[in-house]
A = this chain, B = another copy of it.
Amino acid sequence: MNIKDAAERSSLPAKTIRYYEEIGLVRPLRDANGYRAFRESDIHKLTFLGRSRALGFTIEDCRVLLSLYEDKSRASADVKELAARHLDQIGEKIAALESMRDTLTELVDACHGDHRPDCPILSSLALRQTGIVPQFSPTATK
């Protein structure tokens, strides 16, 4: 199977597949003409990779996941630990984005958004203090 079909079967761009070969994630055979020849097992691996990437695992995580997948004597605890760590990082990213969203939402809501130049968004960005002035207590409990 040539790369185009492999791309279709695995739902990955051909460019990505070549890249994955370059960094040693897959090792397709080669035809006499130099074309890559993908086996079912290659397609399987590529699909696995695509799904891992879709869950946000880094390439290096994917490399480990793949080796765990192929190691029939793995301990599921190792997989779980890797996934749990990744889950933590996702949580941190979400928290950071939510914090941005909350601040930005306040600012956008406070901006009248008309032809006048006065703008709380810009004022806040230009402020010497951090963020928005607390509504009631500057020593709010955590």
Contact = CB atoms under 8 A, between A and B. Distances in A.
A116 B83 contact: no
B126 A76 contact: no
A80 B111 contact: yes
Contacts of A114: 75-77
Interface string A58-86: 00000001001101111111011101101
Main secondary structure of the interface of A (DSSP, over half): helix
Interface range on chain A (Cβ under 8 Å from partner): 35 or more
Contacts of A52: 125
Contact of A94 (B48, B83, B94, B130): B94
Interface of A: 44, 47-48, 51-52, 54-56, 65, 68-69, 71-77, 79-81, 83-84, 86-87, 90-91, 93-94, 97-98, 100-101, 103-105, 107-108, 111-119, 121-122, 124-128, 130
